[in-house]
Amino acid sequence: MVWPIVASLVGALAFTSARAACRAYGRLKAMPPEAFYGNFNSYGGKSAHDKYNRPFYEGGFDAQMTVSEALDILGMTGEAELTKRAIRTNHRRVMLQNHPDKGGSPYLATKINEAREVLDKVATRRSLLSRKTDLVYLIYFVQHAVVTLLIDSTVIIPSQYQLGIQSSLANFHIKSNNDVLLESPPTWLKSYVWLEVLFQLPLFIVGPYYLYKDSKKVYIPMLVYAVEAATTTFACMIEILGVNNLTFAEKMNLQLLYGPIIVVALWMAVDMSLRINRWIPSDDLFSKSK
């Protein structure tokens, strides 16, 4: 029984590899010459051409990269405002023309990345108040950190080890909303709460810091969290609909209680996917480069 599975996996891998090779060859044929040779005329340096009339930047790099040199490399000299978005856009444009995977120089790619790192340190950080979506995520994480610590964690903490405030809040929630899942938690719910405590809670704690700093390091953890939270919350909502000893009004009340979680999680999943996707070159980006 094992060999058919192995053969299927090998066949799938071979098909995927062949498809990727064909797509890469197609992109290679569509790439303009500057994708191979680079185009540094816009960097503010002295223009020069080789014997094939290909443009290049004449001159070397400083031993310690300065902000001025970084601006030249990314073609941002004279920018009115040095924002991280402008840095990202120009870094993407220049890297597309000189990426090692597309025939560019690995050394130039490292200098382009270094230029971005230098400029990121002096870039103007957007205020949290100007990033309304991130502000909502921050408030959501802080709120759920409290809920996880004081209510949800009681599912896996034996009653004799619970704090008084944990027992009081959990009992108040169960009696007020007739939440049968927390009153008699099944084994699968306990596994969900373990995931919540071990993975989600650390994100709830450090996530607000990275959101305040406008750091992209938290994007992937937030995407993973959003997918996991939407999946587990959906399972809880379906389970509640199947409970026989709850009235229709009680079921709807619990749906309204769990509903906002899945709405925010789905929104976060889409939002983080779009943000991360902006950093991943699409198949036809090289064919559009100038």
Mean pLDDT highest for which of 92-101, 182-191, 264-273? Answer: 264-273
Q: Quickly state the pLDDT bin for 6 (edges 50, 70, 90).
A: very low
CB 240 within 8 A of CB 247: no
Tokens 């995407």 locate to: 223
Comparison of pLDDT for 55 and 104, the residue scoring more: 104
pTM exceeds cut of 0.85: no
CB 262 within 8 A of CB 230: yes
Burial class (CB in 10 A: 0-12, 13-18, 19+), 146: exposed
Where along the chain do its domains lie?
34-124, 128-277
CA 166/CA 99 separation, integer angstroms: 54
pLDDT in tens, 61-90: 777 888 788 888 777 766 556 777 777 888
For 3-18, give one letter per residue: b (16+ CB within 10 A) or e: eeeeeeeeeeeeeeee
Q: Specify the 3-state DSSP secondary structure of 46.
A: strand
CATH class of residue range 34-124: mainly alpha
